[in-house]
Amino acid sequence: MTKPIAKSCVVSLAFLIAGCGGSSIKKVAPEDIFITELMPVSAASEPQWFELYNSAESSIDLQGCEITNSQDQAFTITDSLVMESQQYAVVANQNPRANFTYQSDLFELPPAGGISLTCNGSLIDKMTYQIGPPTIAATARSWQLTSDTDSNQAQSAEANDKVENWCYTILIEDYMFGDRRFATPGRANSVCTSVMPYVSYNDQEPVLIEGIDLAATLKVAEAEFARELSTSELPIWAIRDQVVTPEIAAKIAELYFDNIEMLYTTEPFTIIDWNHAVWHFSWAISNLYRNGDTAVKAVLQLAYEDAITRPETLERYNHIAIHHIRNDTVVMGDIHTPAHNRMRQLVVAPGNPAYLQSFAEYEENKRSAFALKTIDIVYRAKTFFEGFL
């Protein structure tokens, strides 16, 4: 079943089209239209959709064209669907929004697959995607073709054939990257920054820290928990992918049960609040448990059983938390550059210049309460004034 969404121009098929006009309409040719963004199946109950872009200098009517996915689901655009030059159309399967102009309930985007557009017997564009290792995306994330501003190659049908020209965005605007990484169906893509450069999936070897002193790092963790901050869990999160002994695992389990409830009462720090703290601590326990041997698993069993229930207690980030804590894929590494830089200030690894050399160095350089308050005030002021720009 397909149904147009009321707009000022006629559209059809699971499409959301942005922009209408009266310029001359040309016959579509290969590479005139190409795919620029997609939202595959999501546990966050978001609609599945993909976005098309008209790169031609004239309007194009997609009436009679066929869209096919990798599951051989296909539908033909039976009504006039005019795409203006340099404008977008978005195909969606549910929940039409202001920037969605057409919907079809016959449409799906599985976690991995492809999409093709065929018109008048000619293939206009085709792309494949893989939402899974090594390019994993949490639920509620879209997959976006890099914008012209951060690529040496302009957006094109050729560019969208190359995986390096795509990046993940998120559907939560204030989560770490602001609007630079927000999904943009029906409008120009946001800037693709480096996507998870320090991440590994189901592979512990790349994320092991040379020379790590786990006992000293746990002293850092104890000191951070004593401060009762919304970032206090980060030393444990920083070592969640390391090889630990049952003794270290036992201490981590003790720290978990002693502090997990405390995190719910912590004050926010920049974008980090108790929701972020609880799910990162739970994520750490999940990784340590799943990467551990039989003896480590035995010591962490109760903590793990508790940690996997924590996403349901969150007001924010619950879908992302579920994905990282309970997904079959073990997501390891520092995730992004801010996390990577912070972890280097919390992990003790004597002889490894990238990390702390001792617990004493942590104490000497740790952020004071005044410094933390200043950072938070500056962040909030910057965020407030940016809202008026």
Residue-wise pLDDT tens digits, 71-93: 888 888 888 888 999 999 888 88
Within-domain flag for 112? yes
Range of the structural domain that residue 309 is part of: 199-385
Within-domain flag for 82? yes
Per-residue pLDDT of 232-268, as tens digits, reads: 999 999 999 999 999 999 999 999 999 999 999 999 8
Query: Do 148 and 155 contact (CB within 8 A), yes or no?
Result: yes
**Within this chain, do residues 208 and 305 fall inside the same structural domain, yes or no?**
yes
**Within this chain, do residues 121 and 233 fall inside the same structural domain, yes or no?**
no
Within-domain flag for 170? no
Within-domain flag for 321? yes
Query: Do 2 and 14 contact (CB within 8 A), yes or no?
Result: yes
Within-domain flag for 101? yes
Report the C-alpha gap between 170 and 37 in whole angstroms.
12
What SS3 class is residue 244? coil
Within-domain flag for 359? yes
- Give me the sign of the Cα torsion angle 343, 348, 352, 353: positive
Q: Could you tell me the two tokens for 3?
A: 């149904």
**Within this chain, do residues 203 and 327 fall inside the same structural domain, yes or no?**
yes
Last residue of a domain, one of 96, 131, 166: 131
Report the C-alpha gap between 238 and 347 in whole angstroms.
7
Within-domain flag for 218? yes
**Within this chain, do residues 236 and 330 fall inside the same structural domain, yes or no?**
yes
**Within this chain, do residues 106 and 222 fall inside the same structural domain, yes or no?**
no
**Within this chain, do residues 117 and 224 fall inside the same structural domain, yes or no?**
no
Counted domains in the chain = 2
**Could you list the pLDDT tens digit for every one of the 389 residues in the chain?**
444 443 333 333 333 333 344 446 778 899 899 999 888 776 556 678 889 999 999 999 998 999 888 888 888 888 888 899 999 988 888 766 656 766 777 778 877 788 899 999 999 999 887 655 444 444 556 778 876 544 444 678 788 887 777 777 655 443 344 444 567 788 887 666 545 567 788 889 989 999 999 999 999 999 999 999 999 999 999 999 999 999 999 999 999 999 999 999 999 888 889 999 999 999 999 999 999 999 999 999 999 999 999 999 999 888 888 888 998 889 899 887 788 889 999 999 999 999 999 999 999 998 888 888 888 788 777 766 655 54
Within-domain flag for 183? no
Last residue of a domain, one of 75, 99, 131: 131
Number of Cβ within 10 Å of residue 274's Cβ equals 19
Last residue of a domain, one of 87, 109, 131: 131
Go through 370-387 and write b for each residue having 16 or more CB atoms within 10 A of its CB, e for each that does not: eebeeeeeeeeeeeeeee
Per-residue pLDDT of 111-133, as tens digits, reads: 778 889 999 999 999 988 765 54
Which element (helix H / strand E) includes 339? helix 337-343
pTM: 0.60
Mode of pairing for the β-strands spanning 112-119 and 15-18: unpaired
**Within this chain, do residues 124 and 226 fall inside the same structural domain, yes or no?**
no
Query: The domain that contains 57 carries what CATH number?
Result: 2.60.40.1260
**Within this chain, do residues 226 and 369 fall inside the same structural domain, yes or no?**
yes
**Within this chain, do residues 273 and 366 fall inside the same structural domain, yes or no?**
yes
